Structure 1
């Protein structure tokens, strides 16, 4: 290592989609002047919502520019790349999201100007008592059946709905028809993509007074129309060491996500470091504390997102907090 490489806080972009609420402002103190505030793109180099660096030597710069200037921050696994391969969000669904599907990489590359497809993971931060989500179809369907049901407003009869509770985990592969239901507060880790094909949107209208557009033809090209197995919560095993416990949530070719619980109230020391292979992102979903590196210290609170470049200096974490530890 030929220079000191330190972590830094990120400031998100916000989205005011009509189904959102205000929990990201009231509970996560995002201080974004949007109502509703449906999503915050916490760690993003996507042109539709890039993050901004909020601490350290790059403060005020777009994460896009920082990564472009320092591609080594991504790690040797991403050599030659100049933008993040993933995107991390908070989602506050006060109302149901549209029924939708995302394309895979192959289709997106060929038909969407070389973009990435979208496989994603949802970690449920909170859910109302009756919260549900849509995960695939509960029976095999033909394209004609789906198109007809969209036309007459009966698509719901084919959708598999699943109850949702706090701490649930869902892995949504591209091609899976899905929808987040009202009352869900979710952290989402996904490919760096904003390609969404709507199948059904409850005939809602946007700010322009017109119904939001559907993308049925494209959706039919990528959607899996066979029945989906009911999603089961995976076996999760907490591994303990002094001051910290962690468990693997998801590992796929796009990202790896762990839940990490830090408690150093008895003055234990928790060390954390990214290797030279890839970057890491710490998304604080509860608690607060500080991160020390050398003679410097960075305070964090619930809702903060911290980018840890590849080959960064060793970090020491103090506090009582829960993170999603995302490894790129």
Structure 2
């Protein structure tokens, strides 16, 4: 029997993702996370998204079956008072990425450039958390030396650009912040959780001469990429200092804090204690809990239990009821 309080507007709810079948994807999102999405390959799942290119859907509670975008437009207070959470639109997009093959070398524009040149869209700053990586997996992060615009253009045309790209080995549990303007690519063998601005603006610079499923080369965006790319080389990316904080049943650490989002990792383990971990939101921001390992149960105060499993995504509206967490799981918590 459903508890009447379970229909409270402040209760959390599960989300259902939309999938993307980009040519570089694999099978792990179905195999490891039981997504049940009939795409081959399954390259990405957009777990929490109000972007028109991929709308996630509410999977539990009174809003089940509605898109998250429609729910937030009807209840903009769910976003909170943070200035980035304006006009009933979710300011972030959260996804899983399975790179069976190398992604294209690409770059994203800043908010300012996108506002002026992409009909007022947001730019794209993003963060990657490495869930798994094969032995030799790597990513591309900027250039290994300063390069000028014309040299870069020529190297893209003649296929020698790889000589200028900085390659970085990656390992499970690594964190990378990819600022707009940083030329980058995820390499083959990486399984990633990505938190980004709500944007789908990607300027593809180089794609290894590949063709799509119709036998045509994928579109490149050389001029706009050159407009926004940082060419100074920059420094090697360094892992942030991470400090675990302990509360009963939970250890947590900050992974990234920037203008656009705050990302933490939570390790839930209530197998041997009688006091559960607890999360709640204030009026400032919603929270998203992405389960990247293990499983558990969320108990909203006065509401129905929500079991969650590896790969599930839970949305907590701003000013939500307190939610107790029981289980053995690793969660990525995102707020703004």
TM-score bucket of the superposed structures, by smaller chain: over 0.9
Q: Which residue of 1 aligns with 2:269?
A: 263
State the 1:208 CA deviation. 1.9
Residues 29-79 of structure 1: per-residue CA shift (max 9 Å, x gap) = 000000000000000000000100000110000011000000000001146
Distance, in Å, in 2 between the alignment partners of 1:237 and 1:285 is: 19
Within 5 Å, which residues of 2 pair with 1:305-324?
305-324=313-332
1:25 to 2:33 alignment: no
Residues 170-211 of structure 1: per-residue CA shift (max 9 Å, x gap) = 000000000000000000000000000011001111122110
1:62 to 2:67 alignment: yes
Q: Does structure 2 retain, via aligned residues, the 8 Å contact 1:43–1:305? A: yes
1:16 to 2:21 alignment: yes
Q: Does structure 2 retain, via aligned residues, the 8 Å contact 1:104–1:222? A: yes
Distance, in Å, in 2 between the alignment partners of 1:14 and 1:219 is: 26
TM-score, L = length of structure 2: 0.96
Q: Does structure 2 retain, via aligned residues, the 8 Å contact 1:4–1:313? A: no
CA RMSD of aligned residues (A): 0.8
Distance, in Å, in 2 between the alignment partners of 1:4 and 1:85 is: 20
Q: Which residue of 2 aligns with 1:291?
A: 298
State the 1:4 CA deviation. 4.3
Q: Which ranges in structure 1 are unaligned for 5 or more consecutive residues?
A: none
Distance, in Å, in 2 between the alignment partners of 1:186 and 1:295 is: 32
Q: Which residue of 2 aligns with 1:50?
A: 55
Match of 2:209 among 182, 189, 203: 203
1:88 to 2:94 alignment: yes
Q: Structure 1 residue runs of 4+, over 6 Å off?
A: none
Q: Which ranges in structure 2 are unaligned for 5 or more consecutive residues?
A: 1-7
Q: Does structure 2 retain, via aligned residues, the 8 Å contact 1:135–1:228? A: no
Q: Which residue of 1 aligns with 2:167?
A: 161
Distance, in Å, in 1 between the alignment partners of 2:287 and 2:87 is: 16
Distance, in Å, in 2 between the alignment partners of 1:72 and 1:63 is: 13
State the 1:268 CA deviation. 2.4
Q: Which residue of 2 aligns with 1:235?
A: 241
CA 1:80–1:137 in 2, change beyond 3 Å: closer, same or farther? closer
TM-score, L = length of structure 1: 0.98
